[in-house]
Amino acid sequence: MKLKKKDRQEQLTQMIEETPFITDEELANKFGVSIQTIRLDRLELSIPELRERIKNVANKNWNETVRALPIDEVIGEVVNLELDNLAISILDIHEEHVFSRNQIARGHHLFAQANSLAVAVINDELALTANAEISFTRPVKLGERVVAKASVVGNDQKRTIIEVKSFVNNEIVFEGKFYMYRNTDK
């Protein structure tokens, strides 16, 4: 049974507040309406499109700046960063990321997203990957959104250990433990 417009719009607003990275297509599927209906609801409610919501979340959460590499060199869009603690980025899988024969994302794109996020989270001018233990848990397909979450889990004398988990719709698709060399000659 379809919701009344007012009820749908109330639930839509709540859902976007709870999950700002949800797409219009995902919302349309959840509410059993067309993508155009969702877009019209968003317009009526003055809710920006996904790209704007991502930027708004990033601006709201952006307390610090990446030191180890320019922000535009991070693969994916960084939406949260707490240096020496955690970082989150989003990568939408497009044609240029997949094999043409099967529409599955090339692994090096998922690795690059995770690795560059591991570099970005380090509060130092120099951060290099010394070693990594990685595992791909399922193929990622064209059109999917990969959310990577990096957490600093330890330090030894010259290395910072960072765990990165990448998800598609809350399902893990990639896991990695990155041992990052950092400058200790400060």
> CA 157 to CA 120: how far, in whole Å?
19
Helix 5-18 and helix 35-45, axial crossing angle in degrees, nearest 10 = 80
168 lies in the same domain as 78: yes
Domain identity same for 43 and 114: no
Same structural domain for residues 49 and 69?
no
Examine the domain organization and report whether 120 and 171 are in the same domain: yes
pTM of the predicted model, to two decimals?
0.68
Tell me the average pLDDT across 156-170.
90
pLDDT one-digit tens code per residue, 8-43: 999 999 988 877 778 888 899 999 999 999 999 998
| 134, 175 Cβ separation under 8 angstroms | yes
CATH number for 84? 3.10.129.10
- Is the same domain home to 46 and 132? no
Say whether pLDDT at 62 is over 50.
Answer: no
Range of the domain at 9: 5-56
**Range in 48-57, 84-93, 155-164, 167-176 the model is least confident about:** 48-57
Q: Are residues 14 and 29 in the same domain?
A: yes
Number of domains in the chain: 2
Does one domain contain both 68 and 90?
Answer: yes
Min mean pLDDT across 9-13, 21-25, 149-153, 181-185 is at 181-185
